[in-house]
């Protein structure tokens, strides 16, 4: 979706929430949008959607910035090691440089002064490693921390994408002594744990994507007089393909969730699939029981 449309939607939705809860902070300004989001965690998923693949939803683009896939080349390793106190000096005050860290890597974001400089909408990221807040949306001081333990799989993907973003758009200038690197800039055990969480999350996402391609969602329509109809076509559930498939109920492994999936003939015996009652096996469209 194009950025202008997204931003308009974002502003509209958030403005309604702000107007409802806090009419006094109704400013068309991302700083306030973020302040409000920090107060209402339910909005964070919306925030994540806005930033596409850097968040933890399944959206994929952040048009201007980058297609945030795997980094194409290994970044050149800087040798400078910052302490937290040193890093805190780089918040862009009095026209000075602005640095931020994500997962222990320090980036020079001075050219993003409008975002990160004093008074900028993202100034809270400057001079600190606020890795966790990139995916939780908790921009309060206690949320702006480098500890990324215990996040969800989608959050680790989001963090990976933010790191790719900074690596591509800004200069990687040093390492931060702390959780991820020691005083000599050597990787810590925590660094390797984090790598592993991200790796597992990435492979989990790959599996999920493959599963979605194997069993795409059906098309669904509802008419009050007829009820719901599900059907398959060469494009459903956002998956374009060269086969149509047959609508089936798809049960999650724990049987807690059910959705309609289009399945190819070769997969029809999969134990997670069930036929719809009163719908022929080879029909590509089924009416659901009312």
Using CB under 6 A, list all residues that contact ligand HEM: 7, 10-11, 30, 33, 44, 47-48, 50-51, 64-65, 112, 115, 122, 125, 134, 137
- Find tokens 């790598």 and name the residue: 195
Collapsed DSSP state (helix, strand, coil) of residue 99: strand
In the complex with ligand HEM, the residue whose CB is nearer, 137 or 247, is: 137
Residue with the CB atom nearest ligand HEM in the bound state? 47
In the complex with ligand HEM, the residue whose CB is nearer, 47 or 246, is: 47
Nearest distance in Å: CB 102, ligand HEM: 9
Cα distance between residue 160 and residue 164, in whole Å: 6
Please provide the DSSP assignment of 125-158 as one string: GTTSB-HHHHHH---STTT--S--TT--HHHHHH
Mention every residue, 6+ apart, whose C-beta is less than 8 A from residue 215. 250, 261, 262, 263, 267, 273
CA 156 to chain centre: 9
Nearest distance in Å: CB 93, ligand HEM: 18
Provide the CB-side half-sphere exposure for 70 (13 A, CA): 8
In the complex with ligand HEM, the residue whose CB is nearer, 109 or 232, is: 109
Q: Give yes or no for a contact between 105 and 175, defined as CB atoms under 8 angstroms apart.
A: yes
Nearest distance in Å: CB 12, ligand HEM: 10
Nearest distance in Å: CB 47, ligand HEM: 3
Cα distance between residue 118 and residue 129, in whole Å: 17
Nearest distance in Å: CB 235, ligand HEM: 29
Nearest distance in Å: CB 260, ligand HEM: 31
In the complex with ligand HEM, the residue whose CB is nearer, 1 or 7, is: 7
Nearest distance in Å: CB 32, ligand HEM: 10
H helix or E strand, kind and range, residue 258: strand 258-263
Angle made by CA atoms 98, 146, 60, in degrees to the nearest 5: 80
Nearest distance in Å: CB 155, ligand HEM: 10
In the complex with ligand HEM, the residue whose CB is nearer, 69 or 274, is: 69
In the complex with ligand HEM, the residue whose CB is nearer, 127 or 137, is: 137
- Which residue intervals of 127-260 are DSSP H helices? 131-136, 153-169, 189-214
In the complex with ligand HEM, the residue whose CB is nearer, 40 or 115, is: 115
In the complex with ligand HEM, the residue whose CB is nearer, 37 or 262, is: 37
Long-range contacts of 64-69 (CB under 8 A, 24+ apart): 64/3, 65/165, 65/169, 66/164, 66/165, 66/168, 66/169, 68/161, 68/164, 68/165, 69/164
Residue 205's nearest CA partner among 64, 9, 65, 69 is 69
């Amino acid at each position: 979706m194009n950025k202008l449309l997204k931003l308009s939607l974002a502003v509209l939705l958030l403005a309604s929430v702000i107007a409802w809860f806090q009419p006094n902070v109704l400013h068309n300004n991302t700083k306030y949008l973020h302040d409000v989001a920090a107060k209402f965690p339910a909005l964070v998923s919306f925030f994540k959607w806005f930033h596409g693949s850097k968040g933890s939803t399944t959206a994929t683009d952040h048009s201007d910035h980058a297609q945030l896939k795997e980094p194409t080349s290994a970044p050149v390793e800087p040798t400078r090691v910052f302490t937290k106190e040193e890093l805190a000096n780089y918040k862009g005050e009095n026209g000075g440089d602005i640095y931020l860290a994500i997962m222990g890597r320090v980036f020079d974001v001075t050219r993003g002064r409008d975002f990160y400089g004093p008074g900028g909408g993202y100034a809270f990221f400057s001079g600190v490693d606020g890795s966790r807040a990139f995916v939780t949306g908790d921009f309060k001081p206690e949320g702006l921390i480098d500890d990324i333990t215990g996040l969800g799989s989608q959050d680790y993907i989001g963090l990976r994408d933010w790191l790719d973003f900074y690596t591509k758009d800004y200069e990687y200038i040093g390492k931060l002594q702390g959780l991820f690197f020691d005083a000599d800039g050597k990787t810590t055990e925590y660094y390797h744990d984090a790598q592993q969480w991200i790796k597992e999350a990435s492979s989990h996402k790959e599996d999920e994507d493959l599963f979605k391609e194997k069993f795409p969602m059906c098309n669904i329509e509802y008419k009050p007089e007829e009820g719901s109809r599900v059907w398959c076509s060469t494009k459903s559930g956002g998956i374009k393909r060269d086969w149509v498939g047959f609508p089936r109920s798809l049960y999650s492994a724990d049987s807690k969730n059910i959705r309609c999936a289009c399945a190819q003939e070769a997969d029809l015996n999969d134990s997670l699939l069930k036929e719809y009652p009163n719908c022929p096996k080879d029909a590509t469209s089924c009416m659901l029981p009312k």
